[in-house]
Copies of this chain bind each other. A is one copy, B any other.
């Protein structure tokens, strides 16, 4: 067995933003090193790190190492891998894939903001009141706004591409993976809100099951490589699921 070409570096124990990258590897059957140790990450984040080679310092994980190249930022890594793992078209519609992935990642940031409205440096317990207000806004309008848009993207693409069942063009892309992951995470963190909103999104429901049913995704989800939701972006606090 040769060493895999790609190394993902992300915090241990949580799926978090690392999961958007993992899914790209898993769905394409691409071998990768999944480094989830804190020192490996903090040594790259440290001021004056000597391990960076000719790369700029990363601001935060996830990071991707491919030979001498080290890059970070989730959407940026997906753009890089999309081209290499055939998870994006070659023509300009690759910018549609990226647009949809970026929007789903914005949604992911809004999910995080619900339990951390005041600041990422504080604990949830220190901003519970603010979180409750943020949750009202989020479950009351934001989930439906984003998911209604996912639904419209699916509807439009089916119309433009002879009944395609994917987000862009006729092939699976990383846009499908990111959208799937944010829906899955929300089903965990806000089960009541997710159920309610999905009632108006029949295409998104089908899309969710379609991605989940892909052979490689299925076996990944059943494996120990798939980390359980816990204390990351998608957290279940009963009081916030309105």
Contact = CB atoms under 8 A, between A and B. Distances in A.
Contact of A79 (B95, B118, B119, B160): B95
Give the size category of A's interface with B: 35 or more
Interface string A58-101: 11000000000101110110011000000000001001101110
Given A73-B98, A73-B102, A99-B73, A56 B156 contact: yes
Nearest to A52: B156
Nearest to A127: B133
Given A69-B92, A152-B47, A168-B56, A118 B99 contact: no
Interface in A117-174: 117-119, 121-122, 127, 130, 133-134, 137-138, 141-142, 146, 149, 152-153, 156-157, 160, 167-168
Given A95-B80, A98-B76, A118-B133, A103 B149 contact: no
Contacts of A127: 133
Contact of A149 (B59, B79, B118, B138): B59
Contacts of A200: none
Interface of A: 47, 52, 54-59, 69, 71-73, 75-76, 79-80, 92, 95-96, 98-100, 102-103, 109, 113, 117-119, 121-122, 127, 130, 133-134, 137-138, 141-142, 146, 149, 152-153, 156-157, 160, 167-168
